[in-house]
Amino acid sequence: MSLTTSHSFSRPPPLLAFFGGTFDPIHFGHLKPVTSLAGQAGFDQVILLPNNVPPHRPQPEASSQQRLHMVELAVAGNPLFSVDSRELNVDTPSYTIETLATLRKEHGDDCPLAFIIGQDSLLTLHKWHRWGSLLDFCHLVVMARPGYQEQLDTPALQRWYDAHRVADAEKLKQKPAGFIYQANTPLLDISATEIRERRHAGLDCSDLLPSAVERYIESQGLYRE
């Protein structure tokens, strides 16, 4: 006779965090705050999700395959990270909410899932498709970003934010979805736009992104006219 049920000794489900972006290219402004955040919040794994860009928005300079390859190079050998190319494997841009709904199905109802965004993305979140339903599928974790205010622009977004915000990252493990956590991550004033502009101007970017990514950019002649 078993003295325990499988329940009593079962490990808590892992806390998985997904981080979407254009990553044109990926840089230290993505990687350093996220690494710090994973320590603070106890993420078991951070999964990078490179996005397609809708046709009506300015297109990335690097191809999908190049952006994916840069993301893979940036985290190669780092066990905290993995890369999920699902959004690049389809021709049409995916809505984040649909990707999150699929991820929720894949991981089951009990596994805590977090979706990471920067402060600039939070400020425009009310423009995302079905933004008010994001928390049905995941927690939202917001990283500070220099130059972006904390005050939210629309009263509806502010009310939603205030209603779901928690001060303690521990809460993220206590239910599968539904909280917003504003992380106290290091401030890095780096953007992919700045990197592309510096490259076009023939300037050095070695402090701004991993050397393997920089070497790849150079070998592909990316971001040079």
Interface ranges with ligand ATP (CB under 6 A): 21-24, 29-30, 33, 117-118, 120-121, 143, 145, 188, 190-193
Beta strands in 100-147 (DSSP E): 113-118, 139-143
In whole angstroms, the minimum distance from the beta carbon of 152 to ligand ATP comes to: 14
Comparing CB distances to ligand ATP, the nearer of 92 and 193 is 193
What are the φ/ψ torsions at residue 80 (nearest 5 degrees)? Answer: -70, -30
Q: For residue 211, give the 3-state DSSP assignment.
A: helix
19, exposed or middle or buried, with CB in 10 Å at 0-12, 13-18, 19+?
buried
Helices of type H across 129-191: 134-137, 155-164
Comparing CB distances to ligand ATP, the nearer of 58 and 77 is 58
Comparing CB distances to ligand ATP, the nearer of 16 and 62 is 62
In whole angstroms, the minimum distance from the beta carbon of 154 to ligand ATP comes to: 18
In whole angstroms, the minimum distance from the beta carbon of 26 to ligand ATP comes to: 7
In whole angstroms, the minimum distance from the beta carbon of 178 to ligand ATP comes to: 20
The three-point CA angle 67-69-70 to 5° equals 65
- What contacts 116, CB < 8 A, 6 or more positions away? 17, 18, 19, 34, 37, 46, 141, 142, 143
Place of tokens 């050095």: 204
In whole angstroms, the minimum distance from the beta carbon of 106 to ligand ATP comes to: 22
Q: Residue of minimal CB distance from ligand ATP? A: 118
Which H/E stretch holds residue 20?
A: strand 16-21
Comparing CB distances to ligand ATP, the nearer of 13 and 95 is 95
Comparing CB distances to ligand ATP, the nearer of 120 and 136 is 120
